[in-house]
Amino acid sequence: MESLGQKIDLRALDLTQLEDWIVSLGEPKYRAKQIFQWLWKKQATEIEGMSDLSKSLRDKLKASSVIQALAIDQSQYSQDGTIKSRLKLHDGHKIESVLIPVANDKRYTVCVSTQVGCSLTCSFCATGKMKRIRNLTAGEIVDQYFIINRQSLEKYNTPLSNIVYMGMGEPLLNYREVLRSTELLTSPNAIGMSPKRITVSTAGIAKMIRQLAEDGVKFNLALSLHAADDVKRNKIMPINEQNNLEVLMDALEYFYYKTQNEITFEYIAFNQFNDHASDAQHLTRLCKMNFPVKVNIIEYNTVDGVDMVKSPKERLDQFSKYLYHHGVQVTVRKSRGKDIDAACGQLANK
């Protein structure tokens, strides 16, 4: 069990651990399920608010445990309706979460972070210029959902419909806590969201993609591809040197074989770098592997200190049309929240 000094972090305990701990306090086992529901169904942030527990039990809990809730430090509002929130953790570190409304599709998505900073050094990404300080706990990941869901209800009178693990950090380098967070989000005893509404994104760690397959996860997987040949991908994503495209495609094929879950290639288009006709050909070849895949082409968003620029509309149109005419399922995503540094690759606690 994880503890803080002498106090237990209630959100760090699964139901079995919570039951064992409650019994050790001299309380009946069923109390654990009540507490678990307060934590994950009722989104309690304070023990005192657990009104169906006796005062004596609440006093015991307050003396021996804590709920490490996040707090909004600052929110910024984009002209397109996107809201970026900087959240303060219990130890003073900060992360960012983004509410992305797509009202015409009736989708309200939260983009959550999984690490404070990031250990990968993708050349185009603002988060990649920060050092990784620590992993987030499952509770801290889920709390982002709680906070942004309340924000969505207050601002748009609509709950969140989707979750994407595309914020700060590499989710598969925080494997255990990320998986536990998805279990809490989808469990009928907790939040009860459909796993098909969850997408976990990775820069490409083949070993962990295979582990996802072995663990039989139900959520969708996105690969931050951004270049369809090893020479270019090595240049902008050093992780590719240990996880080249052949190894990654083998891992993704295994993932699809074991799970049948949806796979997406995320592809940021950089002017005169990865938007040539030859790049479209290479990307088409990757999409014709032994598993179905769809491609999201993403407009690049300016990051301080990076000299890459977005592809102009005419080049983007030519690129996407090539893919479409060669049978690739492709969508060109309009960047949202870029005026508040909330778009893809821009999260850096600004």
CA dihedral 321, 324, 330, 331 (to 10 degrees): 40
Q: Is 75 left (phi over 0), alpha (psi -120 to 50) or beta?
A: beta
Task: Read off φ and ψ for residue 344, nearest 5 degrees.
Answer: -55, 125
Reply yes or no on whether 125 is catalytic.
no
Active-site annotation holder among 19, 27, 96, 170: 96
CA gap 341, 301 in Å, rounded: 8
What DSSP assignment string belongs to 220-231?
Answer: EEEEE---SSHH
Active-site annotation holder among 111, 118, 125, 344: 344
CA gap 178, 273 in Å, rounded: 33
Tokens coding 68: 């490490």
Query: What are the strands, taking DSSP E only, across 3-132?
Result: 3-4, 7-9, 65-66, 71-77, 83-88, 94-102, 107-111, 115-116
- Helix (H/G/I), strand (E/B), else coil: 114: coil
CA gap 144, 148 in Å, rounded: 6
Reply yes or no on whether 2 is catalytic.
no
In the block, residue with structure tokens 């070993």: 207
User: What are the residue numbers of the active site?
Assistant: 96, 344
